[in-house]
Amino acid sequence: MSSMSTYLKNKVLNENLQAVYVALINNGKEVTKTDYKRQKVTFAAASDGQTSNNIDVLFPIAEEAWGDITEIVLFDNEIKGNELFRSTPEIIKNIEEASQYKIPVNYLIVRLR
Give the tens place of pLDDT for each residue, 15-35.
999 999 999 999 999 999 999
Q: Provide Rg for the chain, Cα atoms.
A: 15
- CA 4 remoteness from chain centre: 23
- Phi, psi of 57, rounded to the nearest 5 degrees: -105, 115
- CA 84 remoteness from chain centre: 9
| Distance between CA atoms of residues 102 and 18, nearest Å | 20
> Of 8, 26, 11, 18, nearest to 74 (Cα)?
18
Determine whether 108 is exposed, middle or buried from the number of CB atoms within 10 Å of its CB (0-12, 13-18, 19+): buried
Q: What is the DSSP letter of 11?
A: H
The pTM score is 0.91
Largest CA distance in the chain: 51
* pLDDT single digits (tens) 31-87: 999 999 999 999 999 999 999 999 999 999 999 999 999 999 999 999 999 999 999
